Amino acid sequence: MILLRSWIYFFAFLVWTVGVAIICLPLLTSRRATVFSIRTWVRGIKTMARVICGITFRTEGRENIPSGPCIVAAQHQASFETYLMFLEFQSPVFVLKRELIFIPVIGWYMQRAGLVHVNRGAGASAMRKMLREAQAAVDTGHQVIIFPEGTRAKPGASVPYKPGIVALYTHCDAPLIPMALNTGHFWGKTRILKRPGEIVFRYLPAMPRDLPRDEMLAELRRRIDAASAELPT
């Protein structure tokens, strides 16, 4: 039954995605309208996940999110968290790999929504570009979302954090909020199968400012891993 529901969800997801992408193309004229379109799409995904697959969702620790700009360092186990962040934050700006903007149609929406794309092969110049764009987002009141691992990882896997999170922590004058989650237990990295259960996003207290690089990375890892281990599986 779980496998059947997963396949039903998969085809419903495809139909919904193609339909929204085509219908909302005229709204790509502005960032605000683009984000509205994406949020409409995400609400449909969230509803289908609950109704078809039995996957519910809740958040913890929202009191740790400041009212103004911030940087959110989120675990990354599945595509689900990338979608839901558009509903979690008023004005999110994502730091993601450059390859995503070349996805047909979807890439257009990402660009218009304010994606900070990173060309991993460009070295220091890519880092400087990312910091300029991230600082500009912070200066205009946005929440900058980054996945420190740089890729989706299975629950319990220890993937080294990329240099970008250290650069943002050091360069941008905004609180750094760690976020733990458990999506990989129900959504998975690439598989069709979706298990029923409760996905939880847990926002943790802001990291202390001005920690040395290695100490900051170790503390960020410790906080996220400890919180993730406490979530439902």
**Measuring CA to CA, which residue among 43, 85, 70 is closest to residue 183?**
85
pLDDT tier for residue 119 given thresholds of 50, 70 and 90: low
How far is residue 174's CA from residue 206's CA, in Å, rounded to a whole number? Answer: 10
> Which pLDDT score, from 0 to 100, does residue 150 have?
86
For domain 2-229, give its CATH number from 3.50.20.10, 3.40.190.10, 3.40.50.720, 3.40.1130.10.
3.40.1130.10
pTM of the complete model beyond 0.75: yes
pLDDT tier for residue 121 given thresholds of 50, 70 and 90: low
Q: By percentage, how much of the chain surpasses pLDDT 90?
A: 64
Cα-flanking dihedrals φ and ψ of residue 79, to 5°?
Answer: -70, -20
- Mean pLDDT, rounded, for 92-113: 77
Q: Where are the domains of the chain?
A: 2-229
76-92 residue pLDDT tens: 999 899 889 999 998 89
Instruction: Encode burial over 43-70: b for 16+ CB neighbours within 10 A, e otherwise.
Output: ebbbebbeebbbbebebbbeebbeeebb
Q: What is the mean pLDDT of the chain?
A: 90
Asked whether the predicted pLDDT for residue 123 surpasses 70, the reply is no
